[in-house]
Amino acid sequence: MTPIIGTYECKIDDKGRLLIPLALKKQLAINDGFVLKRSVFQPCLELYPMAEWNAMMSKVNKLNRFVKKHDDFIRRFSAGVRLTDIDVNGRLLIPKDLQGIAQVKKDIVLSSAIKIIEIWDKDTYEKVIADTAVDFADLAEDVMGNLNDGSDGLS
């Protein structure tokens, strides 16, 4: 799957449905379904296209369930996981318990995260992006600065 591109502001209705923006919908394999789960590191949700979820599960399935840390990880990683799809009207349903975990209110942000989509409460997303405690230039240098694996001019 090619990387998903874009950040989209949406609204969630009283029933927990959000209309997927057309520009985003065009990038997704809608008919394959999705998995919705809580994020490991952030107060948001993650929407995995089924192909990406299957790739992740192939990694997780290599863990040894007789190692306590592995078993604990699997349990917490899969807590609250839901199979979902986008309905004929282009809407995605976010269950109430997952809305609570991500503190989703009315205004939300769908943010591409390479091959998955993060679903954020808009105010929370803006605070995380604007967080001055993390200097993005330093973070970029730490994470990407030592990569020099191609002649694409980016490294």
Q: Is residue 131 part of a domain?
A: yes
**Which pLDDT tens digit goes with each residue over 23-48?**
999 998 888 899 999 999 999 999 99
Q: Is residue 30 part of a domain?
A: yes
What 8-state DSSP symbol labels residue 133? T
Question: How many residues does the structure list for the chain?
Answer: 155
**Distance between CA 29 and CA 125 in Å, rounded?**
25
Q: Is residue 150 part of a domain?
A: no
Q: Is residue 78 part of a domain?
A: yes
Q: Which residue has the tokens 């490294």?
A: 155
**Distance between CA 114 and CA 105 in Å, rounded?**
25
Q: Is residue 152 part of a domain?
A: no
Distance (Å) of CA 117 to CA 37, 46, 109, 113: 11, 6, 10, 6
pLDDT at position 126 over 70? yes
The number of folded domains in the chain is 1
**Which pLDDT tens digit goes with each residue over 44-56?**
999 999 999 999 9
**Distance between CA 67 and CA 69 in Å, rounded?**
6
Question: First vs last Cα of the chain: how many Å apart?
Answer: 23
Q: Is residue 2 part of a domain?
A: no
User: Residue 101 belongs to a domain with what CATH number?
Assistant: 3.40.1550.20
- Please enumerate in sequence order all residues whose Cβ is within 8 A of that of 37, keeping only pairs 6 or more positions apart, or say none: 45, 46, 48, 77, 78, 80, 81, 82
pLDDT value at residue 106: 94
Burial (CB count within 10 angstroms: exposed 0-12, middle 13-18, buried 19+), residue 12: buried
**Which pLDDT tens digit goes with each residue over 101-110?**
899 989 999 9
Q: Is residue 154 part of a domain?
A: no
Q: Is residue 39 part of a domain?
A: yes
Expressed as residue numbers, the domain containing 54 is 7-144
**Distance between CA 104 and CA 123 in Å, rounded?**
9
